[in-house]
Amino acid sequence: MSAQESQVWFITGSSRGFGRALVDAALEAGDRVVATARRPEALAADLAGYGDRVLPLALDVTDPDAARAAVEAAVARFGRLDVLVNNAGYANVSPVETGADGDFRAQFETNFWGVYHVTKAALPVLRRQGAGTVVQFSSIGGRVGGSPGIASYQAAKFAVDGFSRVLAAETAPFGVRVMVVEPSGFATDWAGSSMTVHDVPDAYDATVGAMNRLMRQNTAGAAGDPRRAAEIIVRTVRRGEVPGHLPLGVNAATMALDHAHRRLAEASAWAEVSRSADFGEPYPVPLPSQAAG
């Protein structure tokens, strides 16, 4: 299929945020869309004007049987899948020490296992076609980490990244491309109505509490425009090549570059020590000097 032909998108978490912006952008580009959400009723009414180019479907991404059924319904309607977007996800706030185990696990079920279930359901279709693009929504935190209060969310995003790197290596011979999207702060419900903030003990106010105030009580709002981001993704997917990772937003670009520089500097400083662990290498070798202070 050439980049100019109509493509079929399968998008999870389509009712709001990035998912909804992507539905609109793909339809405006002339493509066809399978728009999935837990409750797609309102979405169906909003998109009625697009006629048979859009198929709203109910989907709980944590249910593997439902994921397979949704993919089957999509192929039955449109005959193929060209772009799979795993967007559904959410984050709740609590320190690791005091957060409820069940809440941590429930977030992981959606943020990682949901990606796994939907991707696995779509892979036989993409492999048989010999073409397709998988777009995995992560966050810039899924690259750099360390945001207090959202350990489950960031752990899942790191897992999605590792999963996607293996997926890319396994499916490249079939013509399947994988792109991990890494946004910074965008004007979506992610840090609003989609997020539950649990009790933050005083001992964690300087870390979890401060991050929560930065995310939820910033009157300036997030800098990122979901519509622009969606249009960028649609344009990028129509290219012959896609990046393995696509940071979106000023903060995402800045943090990605800073993280890469720091990791390179650290790896370089410890390279001689790292090599010395192998048989046949000089050993022992001096450890790098410590920074003053």
**pTM to 2 decimal places:** 0.92
Whether the predicted pLDDT of 209 surpasses 50: yes
Residue 190 has pLDDT above 80, yes or no: no
Q: Which residues are catalytic?
A: 138, 153, 157
Q: What is the pLDDT of residues 114-163, one digit of tens each?
A: 999 999 999 999 999 999 999 999 999 999 998 999 999 999 999 999 99
Percent of the chain with pLDDT strictly greater than 70: 92
> Is the pLDDT reported for residue 39 higher than 70?
yes
DSSP letters, the chain, are --TTS--EEEESSTTSHHHHHHHHHHHHTT-EEEEEESS-HHHHHHTGGGGGGEEEEE--TT-HHHHHHHHHHHHHHHS---EEEE------B--TTTS-HHHHHHHHIIIIIHHHHHHHHHHHHHHHHT-EEEEEE--THHHH---TT-HHHHHHHHHHHHHHHHHHHHHGGGTEEEEEEEE-SBSSSTTTTT--B----GGGIIIIIHHHHHHHS-TT--SB-HHHHHHHHHHHHTSS---SEEEESHHHHHHHHHHHHHHHHHHHHHHHHHHTTSTTS--S-PPPPPPP-
**What digits encode the pLDDT tens for the residues 248-274?**
999 999 999 999 999 999 999 999 999
For the chain, domains (ranges, CATH) are 8-248 (3.40.50.720)
pLDDT tier for residue 4 given thresholds of 50, 70 and 90:
low
